[in-house]
Amino acid sequence: MLILLDCVSGLHIYSLNLEKASIEILSNLNLLKDTTIRRALPWRPRIAKEGQKTVSEDVRPIYWANRPRSYMARTLHWDEFPNGRWGDSRSPAFGELTDYHLTQLHIVDEGDRKSEWGSELSSPADVQAVFVKYVDGKIKRLPWCCGMETETSAMRPALSSLNQAGYLTINSQPRVNGAKSEDPVHGWGGPGGFVYQKAYVEFFCSPEQLASLKSTLASYPSIKYSAVNSKGEYESSSSSATTAVTWGVFPDREVVQPTVVGKDAFMVWKDECFGLWKSQWQSVYEAGSASHGVIQQIHDSYYLVTVVDNDFVGGNILAPFGVAAN
């Protein structure tokens, strides 16, 4: 194949959702140089379709950090994104997640899923061991995530300890207090600015573990939690409807708050999140088998929990779990 680069102003690569080869090509062409400086927001932006009005997305709930394709599918038909605050998830504009190829992880073959997530499961402890393997880098993916971000990779030891304790983590970010916007790991938003993050962790846990955590959190007033089960039974220690967990301060601009947590979005995410237990994991086992029953037990009884530490200067979100900070 011959590509005449001097005859075109751009290069479009069809990757069939397998980005490794594309990244290698771009790296060898030296086209990825200084890409961190050009990152406008902490997440991959949505691309406008021809004929649409402006697609100025500046706020996104953190829950879809590891599943950007499903978030883009939900917002596919939005003419424009909310300005300043994320919109009302009860609006019909926040679409249903249709079952098409972009919403699926890069695991299609049932044998691949079984080899990574266990050919047989006898108890929730076996599921817990799979989560530990993912965080330790021994398997590549879980139904909720496919590969760890660089900033999250630095938290591997702590996350491994959390999972060993039975808190099945699917999303997290460290606290950041005034990192330069050019920082290769945490930076975004252009040059000359400073970025901030509240520590955040999201996980599944048993009702007993949630009760124990709630009791412990009484001693940590800066740390707030929200929890919901598959039946929609919700509780939270936070009085705020929406909380920014990432923001940046840049020259000649107002403060930018692009990443948030909030009840409405959390409840939409809940359905998708619990659904992945069954559609991605339970589906590889025969109905009536012990493995099938273990996943059903977790789906029916566990809680999805988010925890935010509002002390982004000196907080330790891991302290209530009895886990040492990195």
pLDDT at 13: 73
Distance from C-alpha of 149 to C-alpha of 234, rounded to nearest angstrom:
29
pLDDT at 9: 58
Distance from C-alpha of 291 to C-alpha of 310, rounded to nearest angstrom:
39
**Which residues are CB-contacts of 224 (< 8 A; sequence separation ≥ 6)?**
236, 237, 238, 243, 307, 308, 310
Q: What is the pLDDT along the chain (326 residues), one digit of tens a residue?
A: 444 455 555 667 766 656 667 767 777 777 666 554 467 889 877 665 555 554 567 888 999 999 888 888 777 766 555 544 455 444 444 555 554 444 444 445 677 888 899 999 999 999 999 999 999 999 989 999 887 777 887 889 999 999 999 999 999 999 999 999 999 999 999 899 999 999 999 999 999 999 999 999 999 999 999 999 999 999 999 988 889 999 999 999 999 999 999 998 999 999 999 999 999 999 999 999 999 999 999 999 999 999 999 999 999 999 999 876 65
Q: What is the pTM of this model?
A: 0.83
pLDDT at 48: 57
Task: Name which of 266, 265, 256 is nearest 305 in CA terms.
Answer: 266
